[in-house]
Copies of this chain bind each other. A is one copy, B any other.
Amino acid sequence: MRVSAKADYAVRATIELAASDAAGPVPAESLAQAQQIPHRFLEAILRDLRREGIVASRRGAGGGYVLARPAREVTVADIVRAVDGPLVFVRDERPSDLDYEGAASALLDVWVALRVNVRAVLEDVTVADLARGTVPDAVQELTDAEGAWRNP
């Protein structure tokens, strides 16, 4: 259950975009420096985000990237899906495409429930929240839970 560097970078760059107070587009290079992301790698990521309609770009001098929709309408889930595909998959299949035999049949419910709970977090948090430095109350409550920050 790993979150890839690509997904992490993509979210950070998008937050940076949303938080930017520049009137016009922000160049990839600025985003890269602000978030310590390799510049060329970030450009590849931004291209994915553009294909998915999350950012828009403008070329040439004074060009760069802007959000393609209001920050409050872009969720972390949207970004992760844009760069990494489905949020949760088991052996390269979506949970609901799986098919278990014999004693393991109830396992399907576990993976589906897992996906529900993953969505509950990632689809609830928007880039507007993060740019403001907050998360929705429901998510905040999760991080306040006993042991949330404990490691193993």
Contact = CB atoms under 8 A, between A and B. Distances in A.
A15 interface: yes
- State the oligomeric state as a number of copies: 2
A117 B139 CA distance: 10
Contacts of A102: 16, 34-35
Contacts of A91: 3-5, 8
A116 interface: yes
Interface stretch (A39-47, A52-60, A62-70, A124-132): A124-132
A65 to B, nearest CB: 15
Interface residues of A, number: 68
A142 B117 contact: yes
B110 A130 contact: yes
Interface string A75-86: 010001100101
B116 A118 contact: no
Nearest to A111: B3
